[in-house]
Amino acid sequence: MIKSKISSNQAKMVIWLSFLAFFSVMNETVFNVVLPDIAKQFHISPAIANWVNTGFILPFAIGSVIYSNLSNRFGVKKLFLFGLSVYNFGSFLGFLSSVYLPFIIIARILQGVGASAIPALMMVIITRYVKKETQGKAFGLIGSFVALGEGIGPAIGGLMANHIHWAFLFLVPTLTLCALPFLSQLLPEEPSLDQQFDVFGAVLLSLAITMFTLFLSFHQLSYMLFSLCCYIGFMLRILHTKHPFIDPKLLLKKRFILSVLAGCILLGTVAGFISMIPYMVREIFQKSTDVIGVGVLLPGTISVVLFGMIGGLLVDKFGKRSTLYLGLAVMVTSLLLLSVFVDFSVWFVTVMTIFTFGSLSFIKTAISATVSAQLADHEAGEGMGILNFACFLAEGIGIAMVGSFLTKPLHKVTLPLTHALPTANLYSNLLLLLALSLILGGILYGIANREKLS
């Protein structure tokens, strides 16, 4: 009887966690398709408009590490309820202040701070409270909802923006309030432990990352200098404090660091490409927001799920390196073809997007498997956390950089490819730069996995 009751509570817990995971990842992609609408409404450049997404992703990445570190000190229940409360407060603030851009960005930051509790604490909850023999099923169910959220986000964003208004996208995450009473009952109370947390280190790293991203967006040298000072302070802090925010020993592992950097370049480049698509399709083909979301982005995001299954099989059969280079070859080819035929047809953009998104699954799988293999058992948890943290940050930085490039038009640069429309030249040149960035990431991955590298 007791065993049956525990199993039932575990099942309910996993279902609600899957529900929350769906909304947390969907909020990464749902605003992507409406960035041109926001830029037009407020008469701002893409460099500023893209901060609607970057403002969510940066605190989402940083918060995912902080919540994990705080879980032993405060318990998962208190942190989870706090995170959901902040997430929904940010959502209501964004909707109510949707005519004032600074509050929109603040609302997105609050959403990121709150939503980051979901993936961070979800892993802790399943590890602690779900039986080991059923944890695989739990992770599989949550992974399915994550893929569904990533896939449906652009479609929801496009449809709501086109038929109602993009401001209503802020209200979609408020459905997570349904989970509050159930999680309050299902999650056990945990005693608070006297565990040290490096608050100062976390603040220094957060400031360093934020200032560096602002520099990439607006090219103000003061941002770069401030970022550099914070980064130096962070390195000194983790080397001399007893309980550092990040273990400096991991930062000394060459293979690990180079593999993480390669993953950051590759995933950040793709994130920038995704953020560029709505601007490109709107300016070149004059398509509506719902067509961009449903007709262009949705097929690509769905392909991630299908290709992801194939990617896992390829890693097991042919190895991590072969799988990554296959995905990289397909992705670079897709971007180069799109650069040449950027103004050919909107449906050609859709097809190239499908191949790009699909090959991303190969790269993600290979990077995760590569980094995991480079870590000892006692380093696995923190090492994989650093990988996820770094890649989330890279996505935010990639989006900011593309916004900056769109603001300072690249069509003025003379390149071999020319098109009738100046805007087509802009996107063609940017696609070439993104392809070169992918090649750089592939070279760095090869260096990281050379046999001679210690």
Decide if 29 is inside a domain. yes
Provide the whole-model pTM. Answer: 0.79
The answer to whether residues 255 and 236 belong to one domain is no
The answer to whether residues 29 and 171 belong to one domain is yes
Decide if 452 is inside a domain. no
Decide if 340 is inside a domain. yes
For residue 116, give the DSSP letter: T
Decide if 125 is inside a domain. yes
DSSP H/E element including 9: helix 2-29
The answer to whether residues 206 and 291 belong to one domain is no
Tell me the average confidence (pLDDT) per consecutive run of 10 residues in the chain, 454 residues long.
50 81 81 87 88 88 80 78 91 92 93 86 73 65 69 81 88 88 77 70 87 83 92 89 80 85 91 89 87 83 71 72 89 93 90 88 80 72 75 84 77 54 81 94 88 57
Tell me, what CATH number does 167's domain have? 1.20.1250.20
* Number of CB atoms found within 10 A of residue 220's CB: 12
Decide if 450 is inside a domain. no
Q: Which two tokens stand for residue 111?
A: 């959403």
The answer to whether residues 339 and 424 belong to one domain is yes
The answer to whether residues 20 and 148 belong to one domain is yes
The answer to whether residues 292 and 414 belong to one domain is yes
The answer to whether residues 22 and 126 belong to one domain is yes
- Residue-wise DSSP of 163-199: HT-GGGGGGGGGGGGGHHHHHHHHSPP---------H
Would you tell me the crossing angle of helices 199-218 and 51-74 to the nearest 10 degrees?
Answer: 170
Give how far Cα 271 sits from Cα of 62, 103, 327, Å. Answer: 17, 24, 16
For residue 295, give the DSSP letter: I
Give how far Cα 353 sits from Cα of 139, 349, 390, 435, Å. Answer: 28, 6, 24, 14
The answer to whether residues 192 and 227 belong to one domain is no
Kindly tell me the burial class for residue 336, based on how many C-beta atoms sit within 10 Å of its own C-beta (0-12, 13-18, 19 or more): middle
The whole-number pLDDT of residue 106 equals 93
Q: Which domain holds residue 218?
A: 198-242
| Gap between the Cα atoms of 304 and 288, Å rounded | 24
Decide if 21 is inside a domain. yes
What angle is formed at CA 192 by the lines to CA 189 and CA 195, rounded to 5 degrees?
A: 145
Decide if 148 is inside a domain. yes
The answer to whether residues 101 and 60 belong to one domain is yes
The answer to whether residues 190 and 211 belong to one domain is no
Q: Residue 222: how many CA atoms within 13 Å on its side-chain side?
A: 0
The answer to whether residues 225 and 349 belong to one domain is no
The answer to whether residues 435 and 327 belong to one domain is yes
Residues 64 and 119 sit within 8 Å (Cβ to Cβ): yes
The whole-number pLDDT of residue 27 equals 80
What angle is formed at CA 103 by the lines to CA 102 and CA 109, rounded to 5 degrees?
A: 95
Decide if 107 is inside a domain. yes
The whole-number pLDDT of residue 310 equals 72
Number of domains making up the chain? 3
